[in-house]
Amino acid sequence: MVNLDEFRKVELRIGRIVSAEKVPDTEKLLKLGVEFGEKNPEPAAPSGDGAAGRPLPDVRQIISGIAQSYPDPAVLVGVECLFATNLEPRAIKGLESRGMILTVADGTRLFLLSPTGAVPPGTQAR
């Protein structure tokens, strides 16, 4: 059993998949690029190039074992679904994963948990 205080530590956010590809030499793994809204702006650069201070997209790499349910990774691009975003980074097949996609299973097929309406990337689940 997990108490409510421990459960509240898990940050669940909507992410939009912006890229998806198979991890070479694996059967189950996909490498996903997932946008979670915007990062805080970078401090102003001394060079004055004008780029600092603007929000940057928060895009993270997430390695997930969903390839057998999604054999054509391209169908995932543009999909918004739920992710755990505050897990410690983990190396999987030499690739850093900075989150976990949440799914439900029906036998051997996995299904993504997606909002029923338009939800901005980065929106936190409650």
The answer to whether the CB of 67 falls within 8 A of the CB of 29 is: yes
38-96 pLDDT per residue, tens: 876 666 555 555 556 678 889 999 999 999 999 999 999 999 999 999 999 999 999 99
Query: Which helix (DSSP H) or strand (DSSP E) does residue 62 occupy?
Result: strand 56-64
25-36 pLDDT per residue, tens: 999 999 999 999
**What's the pLDDT score for residue 56?**
84
- In CATH, which of 3.20.20.70, 3.60.15.10, 3.30.70.20, 2.40.50.140 is domain 4-38+55-112? 2.40.50.140
Please give the full DSSP string across 88-115, using - where no structure is assigned.
PPEEETTEEE--EE-EEEETTEEEE---
**What's the pLDDT score for residue 76?**
98
The predicted model scores a pTM of 0.86
- 51/100 Cα distance (integer angstroms): 31
